[in-house]
Amino acid sequence: MSVRRRSFFKIAGAALALGTLPLTRRVGAAEKEQIGVIGSGNVGSALGRVWAKSGHAVMFSSRNLQHDKQLAAEIGASARAGTPKEAAAFGEVLLFAVPYGALPEVGKSLADSIKGKVVIDACNPFPHRDGEVAEQARAKGAGLYSAQLLPGARIVRAFNAVGAARMGKAHEESGRVGMPIAGDDKNAIEVASRLIREIGYEPVLVGGLAMGKYLMPGTPLAGEHSPDEIRKIAATLRP
């Protein structure tokens, strides 16, 4: 046996003893999710496009199925289109990127499909657009109110105060910009964090869903910040 082959088997044997090779294979296999995108506007299409290009199976949905079919055809084999109910049933992980005013209706119509699933909540309440539901969400806090409208979902609030155009390009400078997130479910946070890193951001947990009220435009955490800057800002905020 050559010196090179002996060295390879020594390294492989050590890796197996430490559990690194099996871990690599398990992670590689587990990283590919079925993702249902509920709302394929600027945010949903930008995020779903990057995930599909990363090898996840992504189903886009909105009120315009024809638009979603065209989007899926443009992206390629990892993308498909369906109705919101089909996307919610299809996805192991769901991205909600609809106008906040649509959440009450969407939550009711998809109730059976979202229970127990990781839901990345990218919806923002704007009173001038969304009316009374936005006022209520801002009063209670968007994270807690989203949980009320999407009962049973394991919600992680993210992608709430960065421009959609940047979301589609962040992977070109991966990790430079932080992404503040809020959630109460440890496993859901881990799943969402991995997907956020694939988009190109470094997730920074700022607290539970009660902190979701700061994850929207017009708050100190809005805009682009480094991970360290997000941690410093979050330390000054209260749930």
pLDDT in tens, 42-98: 999 999 999 999 999 999 999 999 999 999 999 999 999 999 999 999 999 999 999
Look up the pTM and report it: 0.86
Cβ-based neighbour number of residue 45 at 10 Å: 24
Angle at 160 between CA 194 and CA 46, to 5 degrees: 65
210-to-12, 32, 147 alpha-carbon distances in Å = 46, 30, 10
pLDDT attached to residue 11: 38
Q: Quick one: pLDDT band at residue 205, thresholds 50, 70, 90? A: very high
Q: For residue 193, what are its two tokens?
A: 């964090």
Residue pLDDT, tens place only, 106-145: 999 999 999 999 999 999 999 999 999 999 999 999 999 9
Beta strands in the chain (DSSP E): 34-38, 57-61, 79-81, 93-96, 118-121, 154-157, 178-183, 202-207
SS3 62: coil
In SS3 terms, 132-172 reads as HHHHHHHHHCHHHHHHHHCCCCEEEECCCCCCHHHHCCHHH
DSSP structure class, residue 197: H
Residue pLDDT, tens place only, 2-16: 444 444 334 334 333
Q: Which residue has the higher pLDDT, 213 or 22?
A: 213
Strand arrangement of the beta sheet that strand 118-121 belongs to: 79-81, 57-61, 34-38, 93-96, 118-121, 154-157, 178-183, 202-207
